[in-house]
Structure formats: structure tokens, C-alpha cells
A and B are shown apart, each in its own frame.
Chain A
Amino acid sequence: MIVCVSVVGHQNNPLYIQSFTDADDALKLHHVVHCSLDVIEERVNNPKTTLNEAFLGLLYPTLNYKVYGYLTNTKVKFILVTTDLDVRDTDVRNFFRKFHAAYVDAVSNPFHVPGKKITSRTFAQTVSNIVGSYGLN
């Protein structure tokens, strides 16, 4: 089950975070997202592992979660946290593809301020829909 999705800007500024679980876990999840940023940094700067693909794959497993990352050309990071043990690569890639499209639409709003939090209600709804249909294709 997807428990958290997040968008982080190129200066590690939080642009969007949505949890799909109890409020108690929310803080823990924010922490998980925060830690994953370092992993992304390492992964991208390491000349040995640098691929130019947006999808970064599994960033790190924790005791309870699996954390996946995605880095766009515009230096924006998407992070997905799931409690699923059995995760299919295609499902996660699909997820990020749809999520990316939703993100692009959200920042195409002329009233969105780059670098500031995404406040679009449409985006929140679309994200919920994408999370809801995860793995169903």
C-alpha cells in the first residue's frame, strides 16, 4: 500500500507531501522522505552508478517501508513510500509516469509560483486517483 508521496524541489525545498495513513505515522514518513534525499544525492553524483534515467529505482528499504525515487530533468524529485513487500518495477514506473504528468499540469498553472508549494486542488485529487489505481493496470 502506498503510504506517502512527495515532491521536493532542487534546493531540497518541500513542494508537496501527502500521506495516506494515520496522522501518527505522518511525522515518521516525513523523516523517511527527508532521508531519501541524501540517497538521491549520492546516487546521482556517483559517477559509477549514474544513469540518466529519471526513474532511480529503490532508494533504500527500511524495516517497514520501501522508498522509490525519481529525478526530473528540471531537478525535481518525486518520492514514493510503500509498505508493500512485493513491488513490481512496472507498477512503480507507471506510477511515476502518471505522477510526472500531473506535476507538469500543476506547474503549468500561471498562478503557481516556481519553488513554492503546490496548492492545486486538482493535483491533490489526481494524485489520490493515481494512488488509488496503483497496480491495477
Chain B
Amino acid sequence: MVREVAESCVDTMLMEMVAMYSGRFYANKPELAARRIEAIGYQVGHQLSERYTMERPRFSDHLEAIKFICKDFWSEVFKKQIDNLKTNHRGTFVLQDNKFRWLSRVSIDPSSEKETEDPSTPGESKAAQAVSMYLYFPCGIIRGVLSNLGIPCAVSADISSLPTCSFVIRVKA
């Protein structure tokens, strides 16, 4: 029997982690907050990849590893699979989740963010900024998983068509 906890424990912990780093510690330095949140995700991804690949034969190529993330890994963590996988066959993969669980369950409170002007993203609403900050965590997880499978990459989130959330993976040559 696999041990379980209430999902709300994970949700509240993640919300509080983001509030702590982007609201309390690095209120005026969103890039630093983002890096920390991503690093926390990276460690989690690294460790989860050891656990969730334990029973599987080795992946023969990058695509197999990415498919593992889309199906088995996403199911273990988010209880559903990635809805759509696209690739340009040149090292870029787009993983589309039409109802990303964490976005639908957590309430990002933009008013909890300090009043700071982020010059790099003029016009971007406070709510979008808060969501972006939050998404550094799952991006870090994905990067951690792939890194541990021998695939260094950069991962970013695309929320231009909510409620769909896409994770863009760029494999480093």
C-alpha cells in the first residue's frame, strides 16, 4: 500500500512556499525567487525520477523519456496524462495539459504579492505574475527528472491559453 496524504496538504504547502519566497524573502527580486522555487522543484523531480523509473527498462532515446513524463510520471503526480505532446524533432518538446491540476486547485492571491513594478514584463497582470511564479515549481520538477535521465534541458511554462498550461522543454545539445 502506497502511503497517501490529503491533496490539500500539497496544495497549501506549495502556495505557502511560493508566498514565502516571492512575497517575504525576495519580494523585490522576482528572478531570485523564481530560481529558488525552480531549484526546489528540481530536487523533487530528481528524487521522484529515481523512484518512478525503478521498475522500468532503460529509455532508448529522448522521446521515450519524454513520453514517460507525459504518461507514467504525470499520472503518478497529477493523476492524469499529458493531453498533447508536440515536438519539432530538433530538441524542443511541448507538453500540453488542458487542465493542469495545480492551477485549478490552488488560488493564487495576487494581492499577497508586494506592490512592485516588474520592468521586464510591463502590462502583465499581477495575477499572471503570481501564476508564473508558481509554475516555476513544476518546471523545476520536469527539469530535475530529465537531468537525472541524462537529458540536460531548459523548461518553461506557457499560460497564454488558460486553462491549458503547456510546458516547453528545450533539450540542450
Contacts and interface: CB of A to CB of B under 8 A. Distances in A.
Direct A/B contact, Cβ within 8 angstroms? yes
Interface of A: 10, 51-54, 71-75, 100-101, 103-104, 107-108, 110, 114
Given A104-B50, A108-B47, A108-B51, A53 B148 contact: no
Contact of A104 (B51, B58, B60): B51
Nearest to A50: B60
Nearest to A72: B53
The 3 nearest A-B residue pairs measured at CB: A52-B57, A73-B53, A52-B58
B57 A107 contact: no
A103 B49 CA distance: 13
Nearest to A74: B148
A100 to B, nearest CB: 6
A73 B59 contact: yes
Contacts of B122: none
B49 to A, nearest CB: 6
Query: Which DSSP category, helix, strand, loop or mixed, fits chain B's interface?
Result: loop
11 contacts: A52-B58, A72-B54, A73-B49, A73-B59, A73-B149, A74-B49, A74-B149, A74-B150, A104-B51, A108-B47, A110-B43
Nearest to A75: B150
Interface string B130-164: 00000000000000000011100000000000000
Contacts of B60: 52
Contact of A101 (B53, B54, B56): B54
B126 interface: no
Nearest to A51: B57
Nearest to A52: B57
Contact of B58 (A54, A101, A103, A114): A54
